[in-house]
Structure 1
Amino acid sequence: MTGFTASVELTDADQRWGEQVRPEIDAAISQFVKGFVAAPYRHRVEHSLHSDLMAILRECPVLNDGVLHLANHHQSKLIHKEWPAQRIHEGQSRRANIDVVVLPPRSKDHAVDEREFRTGSIAACAAVEIGLDYDIEHFRKDLRKLRNVDAPMRYLVHFCRKKSSSQTQVRDKINELRANDPDVQSGSLKLVAAFPNDSRGFNVLLPGTPDWLTL
């Protein structure tokens, strides 16, 4: 991996804040999954799902009320869509965008430069990639995106609405990662998923659960 690296890295205070809000973000992701299971055809495409997740995250006061102060005396919120990854993946010419991120709050005394904000050069505390009915190649692409992010909380979410051989490949890859991937085993990368089962329900992986659940 080469190229650009985010110029505003997470401070120790940012890391501590991230640990404090981890339960809220885990709970929001779990609610997001349950909402999909309850109405898997509410949205046609993945990008509409981003709005659902951002709305759920905003229901958490510590995330919605948090402020990122800019040095030009303006403010921004903490929840953002299409935020650039910290690094350029090998063979690519620019940074990929992460679907949804949560940035750390910054006080006026620790305000960030406007240019660093506009260029997406601020490291995130949480990063989420979402897939809907995508095949194994798209799943691998989303995984590569998250490999280029140093956020202490990374979530790779995959939703499936209809059984197929391509979706079986994705599920097999998820189980392989759960068994062998150091980031997954350490908890810094969480695999989140929903696949239809034979009982007209869904088998799901939620943050913080050690195995598949049936909903």
Structure 2
Amino acid sequence: MNKYLIFVLSLLVWGCGQKGQQRLPILGEREPVTKEVDGKTVTDTLYQTIPTFSFINQDSTIVTDKDFDNSIYVADFFFTSCPSICPVMSKNLLKVLNKYQGNEEVKILSHSIDTKYDTPWVLKRYANKLGVKGNQWQFVHGTQRDIYGIADKYMVYAKEDAQAPGGFEHQGWLILVDKEKRIRGAYDGTDDNQVAQLMQDMDILLGEYKGGHEK
């Protein structure tokens, strides 16, 4: 759990200095990399990125990390029978979808942590109930190993727990990922103010690319 604590602390530091900021921080682990450039030794920073993945979506179609190339996206972890935070998170993600509807540079990726029950058919029913159509918002199913493994890369805590509501314990983060697959923000998906901040930050992130500042 130590790295999740470090992640939360980094968010608090980021939030304290965010006012007036027009470029988002890059969150997660990082390491210095030394290389030769034009005969000179320079040190660059290698940032944590989301690794390659392959899941099945609500339409029983394979979805991979390549489907999110050239797009920023918001990722979350949920399950369709969740009796606690998931319904609120999904309703707030609808706000994101409605704002960026039809924008090919913006996508949403929801991973089900109930790998036994949430088959593509169940995910399709859930998407239909929300009124989600098209492929801008993907709901994906995978093996427990793959889903929980990728949650770790997004710095989101999730596990089966018979004592937790619905049988699963998980965080309600909405994770903002840039076109280079780097984490650029994390927001409480149950908090209206933080969801509003997410959309403001998405505008800033899109502006970074329009301004030619991506690195």
Question: Which one has a larger percent strand, Structure 1 or Structure 2?
Answer: 2
TM superposition score normalised by structure 2: 0.27
Structure with larger RCO (C-alpha < 8 A, sep 6+)? 2
Question: Which one has a larger percent helix, Structure 1 or Structure 2?
Answer: 1
